[in-house]
Each structure stands twice: as structure tokens, then as C-alpha cells.
Amino acid sequence: MSIPLNNIVRINPKVLSVGNKGNDLFGLMLTRKENVIPAGITSIFENAEEIGKLFGYDSMEYNLATVYFAGFTDSDRVATQLYMALYAENNTSAGLIGATMSAVTLEELRSFKGDLQIVVDNNEKNIVDPDFSFINSFSEAATILENLLGVSVVYSSGNQSFIITSGLTGHNSYVSFATGQLADLLRLSENQGASLSPAIESPTPSSVINTLRKENLTFCSVFLTWEPDEAEALTFAKWADSMKDDVCVILSDSSNKAITANTGTSFAEKVYSANYEGVVCVYNSLELCAFIAGYPAAWDLEKTDGRYNAAFRRSSLLKANVTNEDIALALKANGYNFYGVWASASNDFVFMMEGKISGQYLWLDSWYCQVWMRRYFQNCFIKTLLAKGQIPYNNEGKGILSAAIKPAIDDFIKFGAIRSGIYLSEDQTQSLKQAGLNLSQINNITAVGYYLKIDMGNVTPQTRVRRGSPPINFWYTDGQSVQQINMNSIELQ
């Protein structure tokens, strides 16, 4: 756990209507399977194989991880990390998850001796020199430990580790690290890599993910290994809105309401009606949810024109679930993303549509770009604060702050997150004038794609005394992306 850098450098997201440099736009997958990974923290995985070993190769967790790590067809790279965490439906028990015993043979386990001490539910447990000499499996060793300790002990073939679990649930449940020679041999001690799984009490989407967010500020999307009912989905959506476009939630909905246009009763319509930010509504595909979470992590942020919109992205691991035009039009009208088959007179094409996200950014690529941009800006500013002895409230300080983020802006332009040559509407121009920009500054946005205003002239004495932030605004044109083409073909005789 660490102190959020937003306490010092905060980059606020905003859209004018019509951070770091590396790609860490990683997703968080929530699972309901207990006693596999510790509760209350995020576990990091670098490939689907690691998840398959832990959860089983026939598990939904492995299936979704395979899609996530595969990226999209012709992507420049693939995701290098996926976070996972437990989402408990009910109160859970505290537990101790041992480190892997994969390097230990059964013959070696039979010879293990020594002492082990552990505290479970405020009761200290001690054992010395248990007899493993006759066991025929690691599970039999777990049974011996359970009988001696008087608490639940199992051997997980997925984790390849021993797991000790409290007999209570909620706040009264507690398990400590084990100590002693035998604890080390069984990989149940802290110094041998065991991990504590704290008890969870009265879990809700907000309480669970807020706990995870305090521990890990890196993930920018959340997807699930199950399809929530509407009430639970709306709770997740409300949480996403509270994140102020730092994190989105990607939720599947297979209800018939989704494929009936403009009734106001579907999950997506309720999300848009509530003006929730950062909710990605997907029709009937947990795999597409995983794909959307992995798609920005497959961007090469250092590549010229490396940006990809989510529409038209493909994966050989996804199956089309929409082949009917009426259903496709209903899903589009209601605000759902889906994976469909489109046919012309000569070819069939399979790809994702439409790439929507609820809230002010409208489109997934725009939303993920703003996450990257704000993280990059934050990183640049904090490095400048660390490097500079003083940043005065004058033109010199303005120059220091401007120079701090110029490399980031150049990278945004190179990548395609900022586009020049975008003409502004009269309403946008008027809004910019009301924000204090003159016509020359507004024209600069069209010419180069952005305008940075660091207003040292309007810093109050009170702000200077408390050494607060000067007014800083960064306007940019996203450029959007063509997703429909209509052309007239005219013969001249």
C-alpha cells in the first residue's frame, strides 16, 4: 500500500463537447474462487499459463486470461501483466496460503521434521515432528496437519501449496504466518513466501474494489469471471462512476432486454440514463470483456500512429454472437459492444463493434488515451518537482512546468492521442473564449492539436503562501475516428 500521488500531482479529466511513458494499461480480473489467491490484494500474472496452473486449464479464469494476453489481430505487442483478485460473495475466513511446493518430492516430504507455531482465531497452535513417513500424497500430509492443529488444512493441487483456514468468518477470523523449522520446510512462513488472506466481511463491489485500489493504483479496467445480475452490475457501474475516469468496469449482459431497442429497461440504457462514467456494456460475452481489457495493453505507446480504435478489432479466440441486423441495430441503439459477423456480396467479416464507453469520452480508445495521458503528465510533473530546487510563481516557473510535460505532449501527438487540423465548432470556440483563451490561442489548438495554459498571473497570494498549484489547463483535440463510410458513386455519360 502507498500514498496516492494524486495528493501532490492531480490531472483532472475533462472533455470539451461537440502516468508513465510505458504501457501499464493493465486490467484486473475478479474471481469468486476462494483459497486460490489471497483476499484483499491483487495478484500479478504475466501469462495465461500461470493462471491455468493455478485455477485449472478448464477454468473460466484461464479462458479469459488466454483472450486477454493474446491482444488483437495485428497488434504491435500483447499485455505483459494481468492483475487478479478475489471477489467474495459472502463473509470469508482468514487463511494462510503457503508458497509453492512444486520443487519438493513426496519422498522429501516424508522426511520433514521440526516445529511449527501458528495463531488461528487468537489460539496459538504448536506441533513438533509430525510423522509423514507413511503418506502417499501431499493431501495426506495436509490431513495430518489438520488433525494436529485442529483447524482446516488442505493441499491445493492448483497452487501446489498447503492452505490453513480459520474456522470463523468476518472480523473475528484470523490466521498468522507460521514460524519454526517445519513451517519453513512446508513453505508456510513469511520468509519462505507464504501469503496471508485476510477475512472479508459484508463484501460489496465498492468495498472490495476500493480495498484493492488502495493497494494497487495501476489497473485501469475491471472485468469479471461471471455475469452479474442487473442489481450487482449497477452497483459495479456506480463504483466505476466514482473513479472519475481512472478505472472502467467491463460488464457482460445476456438479457433479452439488451436486444430490444429503446425500451429504457436494458442495463446499458440505465447506465447511460444515470450518466455514469466509465462503464463498458458488452452483449453476452465474458470473453469480449477480457478482450476489451487487454486491447489497450497491446498498444505500442512509442509507435507513430500506434493508436487503434476498439471498433473493427478482431481475435481468433473470439466467437461472433451477433449475426442478425435487427439485433445489431438494437444493441448499437442501447449502447452495447458486441462481436458480430458482417457480410457483403462477396465476403464475410468478423469484428467488434462499436467500441463505446459510458460518460464524457464516449469511445474506448479516447478513454484509454486519457488515462495514459494523465498518468504520463503526472509522472513528468513529479519528476520535475523532485529535480528542481524551486519552481517560482513567475514566468520562469511557467517555463519549467511547460518544459516538464513537453516530451509527453510530443509522444501523445506521435502516437495519435492528439490530432491537429481538427476544426472546432462555434459552441466549442465560445466555451474556450469563456475559459480565457483568445482567438490566436484557440486557432493554435486547430493548428497543432493542443494549447497549454499555465496562468501564473492569476495565482493569489493565498495560493503562493500555501504553495498550491497554479491554474493549469491543457486543451487538446482527440481527432476521433471514422467508423462509417457512405460514398456516392456517380457515372458521367
State pLDDT tens for residues 37-67: 888 888 899 999 999 988 999 999 999 999 9
Query: For residue range 355-414, what is the model confidence (pLDDT) as tens digits?
Result: 999 999 999 999 999 999 999 999 999 999 999 999 999 999 999 999 999 999 999 999
* CB neighbour class for 1 (10 Å; exposed up to 12, middle 13-18, buried from 19): exposed
| C-alpha to C-alpha distance for 68 and 80, rounded to whole angstroms | 10
The residue ranges of every structural domain in the chain are 18-87+204-353, 95-197, 364-476
Q: What is the pLDDT of residue 169?
A: 86
- Helix and strand element counts for the chain (H, E): 15, 16
- Over residues 109-128, the mean pLDDT reads 94
The Cα diameter of the chain in Å comes to 99
Confidence of residue 286 (pLDDT cuts 50, 70, 90): very high
Q: Which residues contact 446 (CB under 8 A, 6 or more apart)?
A: 420, 421, 422, 423, 424, 477
| Residues facing 44 on adjacent strands | 83
Radius of gyration of the chain (CA): 27
Query: For residue range 298-356, what is the model confidence (pLDDT) as tens digits?
Result: 999 999 999 999 999 999 999 999 999 999 999 999 999 999 999 887 889 999 999 99
| C-alpha to C-alpha distance for 78 and 136, rounded to whole angstroms | 42
| Residues facing 162 on adjacent strands | 155
Q: What is the pLDDT of residue 148?
A: 94
| C-alpha to C-alpha distance for 205 and 449, rounded to whole angstroms | 39
- Is there a contact between 18 and 364 (Cβ–Cβ < 8 Å)? no
Q: What backbone torsions phi and psi does residue 30 show, to the nearest 5 degrees?
A: -95, 135
| C-alpha to C-alpha distance for 13 and 245, rounded to whole angstroms | 7
276-282-283 Cα angle (round to 5) = 130
Q: Is the dihedral of CA 176, 177, 179, 183 positive or negative?
A: positive
Confidence of residue 199 (pLDDT cuts 50, 70, 90): confident
Of 71, 73, 32, 478, the closest CA to residue 293 belongs to: 71
Alpha-carbon 478 to chain mean position: 22
What number of CA atoms fall less than 13 Å from residue 63's CA on the CB side? 14
| C-alpha to C-alpha distance for 404 and 456, rounded to whole angstroms | 16
Query: For residue range 449-484, what is the model confidence (pLDDT) as tens digits?
Result: 999 999 999 999 999 999 999 999 999 999 999 999
Alpha-carbon 237 to chain mean position: 14
Of 308, 313, 354, 360, the closest CA to residue 335 belongs to: 354
Q: What is the pLDDT of residue 11?
A: 59
Lowest mean pLDDT among 81-85, 91-95, 428-432, 456-460: 91-95
111: left (phi over 0), alpha (psi -120 to 50) or beta: alpha
Q: What is the pLDDT of residue 13?
A: 60
Q: What is the pLDDT of residue 139?
A: 93
Reported pTM: 0.84
Look up the CATH architecture of domain 18-87+204-353.
Answer: 3-Layer(aba) Sandwich (3.40)
Indicate the length of the chain as a whole number: 493
The CB density around residue 139, as the number of other CB atoms within 10 Å, is 14
Q: What backbone torsions phi and psi does residue 411 show, to the nearest 5 degrees?
A: -70, -35
- Over residues 185-212, the mean pLDDT reads 89
| C-alpha to C-alpha distance for 179 and 188, rounded to whole angstroms | 8
Confidence of residue 285 (pLDDT cuts 50, 70, 90): very high
Alpha helices in 26-112 (DSSP H): 48-55, 60-70, 106-110
Q: What is the pLDDT of residue 8?
A: 58
* CB neighbour class for 485 (10 Å; exposed up to 12, middle 13-18, buried from 19): exposed
Query: Can you point out the beta strands (E) in 87-143?
Result: 95-97, 115-120, 123-128
What single-letter amino acid sits at 113?
A: K
- Is there a contact between 381 and 405 (Cβ–Cβ < 8 Å)? yes
Q: Which residues contact 489 (CB under 8 A, 6 or more apart)?
A: none
